[in-house]
Amino acid sequence: MRRVDLLGVDEVPPGTMKMAWVDGVDSVLVVNLDGEIRAFQGICSHEYFELDKGFLTRDSLTCALHLSRFDLETGEPLDPPAELPIMRYTVVLENGRVFIEIPDGPLPVNE
């Protein structure tokens, strides 16, 4: 298991999202839902498209390319064409920073 420092909590105000990077190559979408920070894979599970270009609503995220919505609790797709959930990572907040805890090795991603 390893802990990866993504960004400062103050970089993601409530109701916003921001892309961060693991090992400089893998993207992670950090979402602030009314003060609760969550982290998901940054690329859509349907095709290669950055989810920070999508739209955040109260409890879902819409991919801007084909408009699948994803549940921000489970990561599950709510509409086609996406069929796989987006991975949600365990978030740890420490000293004003957002970390995720992931297995050693490459970032787990559904694609």
Instruction: Using the minimum distance from each CB to ligand FES, give the nearer residue, 39 or 63.
Output: 63
What are the Cα distances from residue 87, in Å, to 2, 10, 29, 108? 16, 23, 10, 7
Q: What minimum distance in Å lies between the beta carbon of 79 and ligand FES?
A: 9
Q: How far is the CB of 27 from ligand FES (least distance, A)?
A: 14
For the CB of residue 68, give the shortest distance to ligand FES in the complex, in Å: 4
Residue type, 70: F
9 vs 84 by CB, closer to ligand FES: 84
Q: Are 39 and 31 in contact (CB under 8 A)?
A: yes
- Return the sign of the alpha-carbon dihedral for residues 15, 7, 104, 41: positive
Q: Whose Cβ is closer to ligand FES: residue 48's or residue 96's? A: 48
Q: Which residues bind ligand FES (CB under 6 A)?
A: 44, 46-47, 49, 63, 65-66, 68, 81-82
We find the least distance from the C-beta atom of residue 39 to ligand FES, in angstroms, to be 18
Query: What DSSP state is assigned to residue 72?
Result: T
Q: Which two tokens stand for residue 73?
A: 């609790």
The residue written with tokens 């950055």 in the block is: 50
